[in-house]
């Protein structure tokens, strides 16, 4: 008789848990798929424009950064033309990934926006070297310029109107980044603010040096990495807030008898508001390009904004950002060009996010403008939830 009662009581216990299970189910269903960690990446095609391609009477090249406007489903890409071939500018593109495949006919230029300085004039020749671009949620873009050390033209981080192209404000840059006349401190020429990204909540802006500051360590060389700085801005106060150590990969060229070698951090892409990014490192050894994508986390990294020179401290005691290789693009069956920019793109038909990379052709007839597309695979929300309770759950 007692056994029979137990049988009938068991479902009552389940009934007690049903409301709780329903709430959990609703919670899980409504969790948006997180952008970190990325569990896989698939190449879904490329498109190219030849050097010499013109759009609205401007040579469309030098594309060093790219950003995506999800509301308009359009891309903005910045040219690093120093107002030499045409006035400094960015382009608006449509990239159609509706069939989860990128081909030449799927990229269509729609517009070109000329950048205007504080006097509502175009930037004079040589006064700008625009490299990074990132979109805000209020119809503006931030653009980074590397400046020119040899001409004592300082780098800048400025906000521009998306429609008129006019400067709206300029962010202050900490003194340690500014080159002095003796060339004993600050950014190295053409190795400065190549990257630019904004968090989804639009509260933080990040840029980084492509290589080490002069007072921080060596520039990248074969088999030698370079200690870059990631610089974080609080966009509510419009002030620099934190800095982090980012070590580039020490690259060993396959052929090491060319005097030409350049390697560094070309771009950053904020994946969320919790300090997770994709980084793009590019290397040129005189015999082609090697490009690598990394997943980056600021978790546990030391804030080094109070350290003016990394050479003056024991750098081994500084906790750098964490990074993990996501993809070595040399494994793709495609000839790589000078890839410099990246952005999250449109959602694909299966709900996954796309990733778009763009190259700077240097306006060189031997190079081309190259756009690469990828599908990112994200961790399912249910696994993400379990990981909160079981941190060491295998991926």
Contact 155, 147 (CB under 8 A): yes
Residue 132 lies in a domain: yes
Say what percent of the chain tops pLDDT 70: 86
| pLDDT tens track for 118-128 | 999 999 999 99
Residue 297 lies in a domain: yes
pLDDT for the residue 14: 47
| pLDDT tens track for 14-72 | 455 555 545 554 444 444 556 778 999 999 999 999 999 999 999 999 999 999 999 99
pLDDT for the residue 16: 55
- Average pLDDT over every residue of 183-199: 95
Residue 9 lies in a domain: no
Please say if the pLDDT value at position 186 is more than 80.
yes
Residue 226 lies in a domain: yes
Least confident of 177-186, 242-251, 337-346: 177-186
pLDDT for the residue 26: 46
How long a stretch of residues is the chain? Answer: 395
Residue 251 lies in a domain: yes
User: In terms of C-beta distances under 8 Å and separation of at least 24 residues, what long-range contacts does 230-235 make, across chains too?
Assistant: 230/206, 230/268, 230/298, 230/321, 231/174, 231/177, 231/206, 231/207, 232/204, 232/205, 232/206, 233/157, 233/171, 233/204, 233/205, 233/206, 233/207, 234/203, 234/204, 235/198, 235/202, 235/203, 235/204, 235/205
Residue 19 lies in a domain: no
Please say if the pLDDT value at position 255 is more than 90.
no
Query: What's the CA gap between 206 and 234, in Å, rounded?
Result: 9
pLDDT for the residue 29: 44
> What CATH number does the domain containing 372 carry?
2.115.10
- Per-chain mean pLDDT for the chain: 90
Please say if the pLDDT value at position 86 is more than 90.
yes
Residue 327's φ and ψ, nearest 5 degrees, are: -160, 130
- Average pLDDT over every residue of 105-118: 98
pLDDT for the residue 30: 47
pLDDT for the residue 6: 46
Residue 55 lies in a domain: yes
Residue 279: Cβ-neighbour burial (10 angstroms; 0-12, 13-18, 19+)? buried
Q: Return all residues near 19 (Cβ < 8 A) that are at least 6 apart.
A: none
pLDDT for the residue 3: 47
pLDDT for the residue 97: 97
- Average pLDDT over every residue of 308-337: 97
Residue 12 lies in a domain: no
Q: Return all residues near 294 (Cβ < 8 A) that are at least 6 apart.
A: 278, 279, 281, 323, 324, 325, 326
Report residue 270 as tokens.
């904020």
Domain, as residue range, for 134: 31-389
pLDDT for the residue 23: 53
Q: Which among 372, 286, 265, 274 has a CA at the least distance from the CA of 43?
A: 372
| pLDDT tens track for 269-285 | 999 999 999 999 999 98
Q: Which among 219, 244, 342, 241 has a CA at the least distance from the CA of 291?
A: 342
Report residue 185 as tokens.
């401190």
Question: In total, how many domains does the chain have?
Answer: 1
Query: What's the CA gap between 214 and 310, in Å, rounded?
Result: 10
| pLDDT tens track for 284-301 | 987 789 999 999 999 999
pTM of the model: 0.89
Q: Return all residues near 22 (Cβ < 8 A) that are at least 6 apart.
A: none
Q: Tell me how crowded residue 335 is: count the other CB atoms within 10 A of its CB.
A: 11
17 against 156, higher pLDDT: 156
């Amino acid at each position: 008789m007692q056994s029979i009662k137990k049988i009938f009581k068991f479902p009552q216990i389940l009934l007690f848990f049903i409301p709780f299970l329903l709430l959990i189910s609703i919670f899980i269903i409504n969790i948006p798929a997180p952008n970190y960690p990325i569990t896989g990446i698939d190449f879904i095609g490329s498109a190219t424009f030849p050097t010499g391609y013109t759009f609205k009477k401007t040579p469309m090249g030098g594309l060093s950064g790219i950003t995506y406007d999800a509301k308009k489903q359009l891309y903005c890409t910045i040219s690093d033309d120093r107002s030499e071939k045409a006035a400094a500018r960015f382009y608006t593109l449509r990239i159609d990934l509706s069939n989860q495949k990128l081909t030449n006919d799927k990229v269509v230029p729609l517009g070109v926006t000329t950048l205007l300085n504080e006097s509502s004039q175009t930037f004079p020749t040589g006064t700008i070297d625009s490299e990074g671009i990132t979109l805000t949620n209020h119809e503006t873009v931030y653009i980074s310029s590397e400046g020119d050390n040899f001409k004592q033209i300082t780098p800048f981080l400025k906000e521009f109107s998306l429609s008129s192209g006019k400067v709206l404000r300029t962010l202050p840059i900490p003194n340690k980044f500014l080159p002095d006349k003796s060339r004993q401190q600050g950014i190295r020429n053409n190795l400065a603010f190549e990257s630019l990204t904004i968090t989804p909540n639009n509260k933080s802006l990040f840029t980084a040096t492509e290589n080490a500051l002069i007072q921080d360590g060596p520039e990248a060389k074969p088999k030698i990495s370079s200690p870059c700085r990631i610089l974080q801005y609080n966009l509510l106060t419009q002030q620099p807030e934190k800095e982090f150590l980012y070590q580039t990969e020490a690259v060993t060229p396959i052929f090491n008898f060319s005097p030409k070698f350049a390697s560094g951090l070309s771009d950053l892409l904020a994946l969320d508001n919790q300090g997770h990014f994709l980084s793009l490192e590019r290397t040129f050894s005189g015999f082609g390009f090697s490009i690598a994508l990394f997943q980056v986390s600021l978790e546990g990294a030391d804030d080094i904004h109070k350290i003016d020179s990394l050479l003056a401290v024991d750098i081994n005691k500084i906790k750098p950002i964490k990074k993990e290789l996501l993809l070595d693009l040399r494994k793709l069956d495609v000839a790589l060009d000078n890839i410099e920019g990246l952005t999250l793109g449109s959602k694909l038909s299966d709900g996954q996010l796309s990733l778009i990379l763009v190259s700077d052709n240097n306006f060189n007839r031997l190079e081309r403008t190259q756009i690469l597309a990828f599908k990112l695979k994200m961790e399912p929300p249910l696994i993400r939830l379990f990981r909160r309770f079981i941190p060491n759950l295998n991926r």
